[in-house]
Amino acid sequence: MKGLVEGEFRMPLVARGARQAILAVSLLLCITAVNADEPVVKNPHYGPYSQQIASVGSWTVKQGFVSLDPADTTSLMEAMHNPGITNSYLYAPDGMKGWFAVVSYQNTGHVSDDEKIDPETILEQLKQNTAHSNEERRNRGWPELHIIGWQVEPHYEPDTKRLSWATLNESNGTQAVNYTTKVLSRTGVATVVLVTDPGRLDQSVAELKAQLDGFAFNPDQTYAEFRSGDKIAEYGLTGLIVGGAAAAAVKTGAWKWVVGILAAGWKFVAAAVLAMLASVKSLFKRRGA
């Protein structure tokens, strides 16, 4: 994509700190049909396998599933027109059948989970953020993105420390869903973004949830291990949905830099996901090759 340098958008008049706040407003993932003469994924890990997530946790990859290290995840995301995605891990059924998820970890600090969630207010904020970002999309020649509404309202599970939600989005007349789960830890948050077709969302979410049981933070990194003196996040559950850095920027006065900028390098799921996934399979190095 033009105008991208090392995963950041060109914003010559924006201070670096404000730029980093901008880059964390939201997570919307794009899947684009891809073609390549040779596989871009060099070292897929087929289950059973233990995928280390940063240095804070691990994911038990069961038989019939595959995971990618950050280098291969970055290569695949770039092939799917999602530049600048680093320090992330892909998890999917073997053969990318029906869905995939991208996992990342942010050292946000300890996020308080005692905040009441207001879905109506949050949705309005997300729509406003997206409306502002469409100016930047038009400047880049990208189709506009519109959030239609909640596919799944945000909800928090205190026992698993998971915050989940899904928005139904539209671009160029095509609807698609991004389902996001955030898992709270002692010092940060693991984010899992599920990409699937709206028509099979329930099935894909059920499959993902079953696999999430294989994700665990290291014993000293669980939410319950919070200790006095640990870093505290500047936002709560709502901030995790609307964009934590953006929420913090409101407090610091940096919000003026957030308006109109597409966040985090993730783009909209712009076409029928299941059809697209068929073209992704060839990008994986075959077993034993």
Give the pLDDT confidence score for residue 242 in this predicted structure. 87
Domain ranges in the chain are 4-281
Partner residues linked to 45 by β-bridges: 67
Sequence-separated (6 or more) residues with CB below 8 Å from residue 8: 19, 23, 84
Q: Give the per-residue SS3 of the chain.
A: CCCEECCEECCCCCCHHHHHHHCCCCCCCCCCCCCCCCCCECCCEECCEEEEECCCEEEEECCCEEEECHHHHHHHHHHCCCCCCCCEEEEEECCCCCEEEEEEEECCCECCCCCCCCHHHHHHHHHHHHHHHHHHHHHCCCCCCEEEEEEEEEEEECCCCEEEEEEEEEECCEEEEEEEEEEECCCCEEEEEEEECHHHHHHHHHHHHHHHCCEEECHHHCHHHCCCCCCECCCCHHHHHHCHHHHHHHHHCCHHHHCCCCCCCCCCCCCCHHHHHHHHHHHECCCCC
The tens place of each residue's pLDDT in the chain, 289 residues long, gives: 222 222 222 222 223 332 332 222 234 554 444 555 567 888 999 999 999 999 999 999 999 999 999 999 988 877 775 656 789 999 999 888 888 898 999 999 999 999 999 999 999 888 888 877 787 778 878 778 788 999 899 999 999 999 999 888 887 787 777 789 999 999 999 999 888 877 888 899 999 999 999 999 999 999 999 999 999 998 899 999 987 544 443 343 333 333 222 233 333 332 334 344 445 555 666 565 4
pLDDT at res. 144: 80
Confidence (pLDDT) at 90 = 93
- Measured CA to CA, the distance from residue 168 to residue 175 in angstroms comes to 7
Q: How many CB atoms lie within 10 A of CB 176?
A: 25
Q: How many CB atoms lie within 10 A of CB 54?
A: 19
Whole-Å CA distances, 209 to 161, 213, 214, 267: 13, 7, 9, 24
Residue-level pLDDT at 251: 40
Please give the pLDDT value at position 286.
Answer: 56
Q: How many CA atoms lie within 13 A of 154 on its CB side?
A: 19
Model's pTM, two decimal places? 0.73
Residue with tokens 């291969």: 72
- pLDDT tens digits along 166-190: 888 887 787 777 789 999 999 999 9
User: Is the distance from CB of 4 to CB of 82 less than 8 angstroms?
Assistant: no
Strand 8-9 to 4-5 pairing? antiparallel
Question: 255: alpha, beta or left, given left = phi > 0 and alpha = psi -120 to 50?
Answer: alpha
| 150, two tokens | 């909640």
